[in-house]
Copies of this chain bind each other. A is one copy, B any other.
Amino acid sequence: MDGQGGRTRRRGEELIKAIHAAVLEEVAEVGVGRLTMEGIGRRAATPRTTLYRRWSDPVEVLLDALYHAHPVEEPTPGADDLRGDLIRSLRLMVDWMLSPAGRAVAAILTDPQRRPEVSKALYEKVFAGRGGTFTRTVLRHYAEHGHFPARLLTPVVADIGEALVIKRMFDTGRLPADDDLADIVDQAILPAIGLGPG
């Protein structure tokens, strides 16, 4: 007879998952600097006392959530469509950046008072096991199959696509359409590996 609806009490795994989701949403919305136990608890609909039983700090909750986050999906290069695979890998990146984990990562990496431990946890856990960035995986595959000279696949070249996607999302505030991704591939990446249209 408490009138609070039939909301059952969460425990263990289930509760923790909710808290992890909450802290990722929270950090994406307010940033690392404004992370607060109060805010996390509010979003997860759990009292702060429950949080303090497990963690002593909002950042600890965040690190724990990152630790349990799924690693980023890796693009799987097809048979013989370099251009299409590049566009698809950038699409994968854009989609990921819109996910809770992606937006959380963006908030963390751009935090003014970025703490090394947090960035470190990011690279180790979220990007764990990945061979490289989105386009790098594709480019390495096609370089190994002789579609272009491997010596052209420098760190700079491997970053071109991601860098341009990031800058575009910054400048326009919205996500690039497929047309934009194609432009990036055609006008920046392909020329850099000697496969420009000109």
Chain B: CB-nearest residue to A162 = B167
Q: Within 8 Å of chain B (Cβ to Cβ): is A42?
A: no
Contacts from A to B (Cβ < 8 Å):
27-31, 33-34, 107, 109-114, 119, 149, 152, 154, 156-157, 159-160, 162-164, 166-168, 170, 173, 180, 183-184, 187-188, 191-192, 194, 196, 198
Leading 9 A-B pairs by shortest Cβ distance = A110-B110, A163-B163, A163-B167, A31-B112, A191-B191, A156-B187, A191-B192, A163-B164, A194-B198
Q: A163-B164, A192-B187 are in contact. Are A113 and B156 (CB under 8 A)?
A: no
A-B contact pairs, 10 of them (CB 8 A): A33-B33, A109-B170, A110-B170, A156-B180, A156-B184, A157-B187, A160-B163, A160-B164, A160-B188, A187-B192
Q: Is the CB of A156 within 8 A of B166?
A: no
**Which chain B residues lie closer than 8 Å to A183 at the CB level?**
154, 156
Chain B: CB-nearest residue to A157 = B187
Chain B: CB-nearest residue to A167 = B163
**Which chain B residues lie closer than 8 Å to A180 at the CB level?**
156
**Which chain B residues lie closer than 8 Å to A152 at the CB level?**
187, 198
**Which chain B residues lie closer than 8 Å to A31 at the CB level?**
31, 33, 111-113
| Bound CA span A164–B188, Å | 11
Given contacts A29-B113, A160-B188, list 5 more A-B pairs with CB under 8 A: A30-B113, A31-B31, A31-B112, A188-B188, A191-B192
Closest CB in chain B relative to A43 CB, distance in Å? 15
Q: Is the CB of B163 within 8 A of A166?
A: yes
Q: Is the CB of B167 within 8 A of A159?
A: yes
- Kindly identify which residue among B30, B170, B196 contacts A194, using a CB–CB cutoff of 8 Å: B196
**Which chain B residues lie closer than 8 Å to A107 at the CB level?**
112
- Kindly identify which residue among B27, B28, B154 contacts A187, using a CB–CB cutoff of 8 Å: B154
